Homo-oligomer: A and B are copies of this chain.
Amino acid sequence: MNKIEPRTLPGFMELLPKDQIMFNKMKEKIQKSYEKFGFLPIDTPIIEMSEVLLAKAGGETEKQIYEFQKGDNNLALRFDLTVPLAKYVAQYYNELSFPFRRYQIGKVYRGERPQKGRFREFYQCDIDIIGDGELSIINDAEIPKIIYNTIKELGFDNFTICINNRKILNGLFKELEQEENSIEIMRIIDKLEKIGKEKVIQELAKVNVPEDAINKIIEFIQIQGSTDEKLQKLEQLNIQNDIFKTGVEELKEVIKYIRIFGLPEENFRVDLTIARGLDYYTGTVYETFLNEYRSLGSVCSGGRYENLAEYYTDRKLPGVGVSIGLTRLFYKLNELQAIKEEQKSISKVLVVSMVEDMTKPIEVATFLRENNIPTEVYIGNKKIKAKFKYADRLQIPFVIVIGEDEITNNVVTLKNMETGEQETLKIEDLKAKL
């Protein structure tokens, strides 16, 4: 028979079991962290009607979308979890309770040009809090605490959650009569860290920002100091514009509550340059950096938006949320060998037999499983060496050996694969030992 070459599409991550175990553990920790804060799960379809999914899309995003026909329907694969959330909240509005706190962890699809570390199928892990008509600013302060808890759970201590408010930027641009340029300006100042102050000035001039406006922008983005000093300096800029003032007030309120939520000072800071590129966010915005791995970029980002579902409903549904791009994060951390994961195997024990009769090995495995210890029995006629090699390759931490002596004396030999230590035990003593 002619064989087909078994292969995976470029841009699609497919892991070997040992990496999959680590990936799943990270996913599980994120989920548990979201649940600890009382977020409800939803699981929307991966396929939606194009008309519904693309109600809002346009430009770059639309080009990347997987679209196809099936029967008479134009279908598309979801490219994020926000549009499905908007659809969901509009569709089931009457059956939901607000504020609606939901998490969703699932695969999304974008036909990007394949490059190293960029994926066409990837997991997003989203949380959002949606209000019905209004949503207290205190929610904007809870989000960083959830980010904090989640990143800690993933095993990192040295990270910074950067916080800003889009109204501050918008108000500044209004004051400087640069509103029409605002998206362009934000795009440029977002690059401050990457390209430096001089280049930012050059690029701003290139898009025809007048010199005095450039000076004010530079003065603004160079505000330094502690969180409280920054807030003070913002007020000292003496910008009378209402949007700007609202932004500063909101930011102050968010910082006040962030402290009440107990977020350590070393894990957050006000960063007036972050804008989250998109036109979508209207208030608080977040980015999160692992300080030892800055090259990863932000590992958890998001913000506050005025209106989640305006393409589907007239109801005003403001929200705030963040997302972790897990596939890319895992890929990068794994490459850097920076995943803090103790568990490397599923089974805790491999039971191997030195005799033909498998009765005893199976009984021991059954006993362990009944005591919630993941256990595998090596079934197959291999030499004992091959069986140990199997345990070794799968990084199973313990091997139980059962030979004639063990059967006669009704005991087992337990080997710790890491230390090499071996001991003989009664079966009922295994539980305490493992």
Which A residues contact B (CB, under 8 angstroms)? Answer: 1, 3-9, 12-17, 20-21, 23-24, 35-49, 51-52, 55, 66-71, 73, 75, 86-88, 90-92, 95-97, 99, 101-102, 107, 109, 111, 120-121, 131, 134-136, 138-139, 142, 145, 149, 257, 260-262, 309-314, 346-347, 350, 358-359, 362-363, 366, 369, 372-377, 379-381, 390, 393-394
Q: How many angstroms between the C-alpha atoms of A12 and B134 in the bound complex?
A: 31
Contact status B257-A362, CB under 8 Å: yes
Report A150 CB to chain B, min CB distance, Å.
Answer: 12
Indicate which residue in B55, B66, B314 contacts A4 across the interface (CB closer than 8 Å): B55
Q: How many angstroms between the C-alpha atoms of A44 and B17 in the bound complex?
A: 11
In the A-B complex, list the 7 residue pairs whose CB atoms are closest, starting with the nearest: A38-B376, A68-B68, A38-B347, A17-B40, A12-B45, A6-B91, A6-B90
Q: How many angstroms between the C-alpha atoms of A36 and B16 in the bound complex?
A: 20
Which residues of B lie under 8 Å from residue A366 when comparing CB positions? 145, 261-262
Indicate which residue in B40, B97, B310 contacts A1 across the interface (CB closer than 8 Å): B310
Q: How many angstroms between the C-alpha atoms of A346 and B73 in the bound complex?
A: 36
Indicate which residue in B138, B145, B363 contacts A358 across the interface (CB closer than 8 Å): B138
Contact status B121-A47, CB under 8 Å: yes
Q: With A9-B75, A91-B7, A312-B6 as given contacts, are A372 and B36 in contact (CB-CB < 8 Å)?
A: yes
Indicate which residue in B43, B46, B261, B369 contacts A36 across the interface (CB closer than 8 Å): B369
Most interface-central of A6, A109, A393 (chain B CB within 10 A): A6
Which residues of B lie under 8 Å from residue A6 when comparing CB positions? 52, 86-88, 90-91, 309, 312-313
Q: How many angstroms between the C-alpha atoms of A101 and B374 in the bound complex?
A: 13
Which residues of B lie under 8 Å from residue A12 when comparing CB positions? 45, 47
Contact status A121-B35, CB under 8 Å: no
Please, which residue of chain B has its CB at the minimum distance from the CB of A66?
Answer: B70
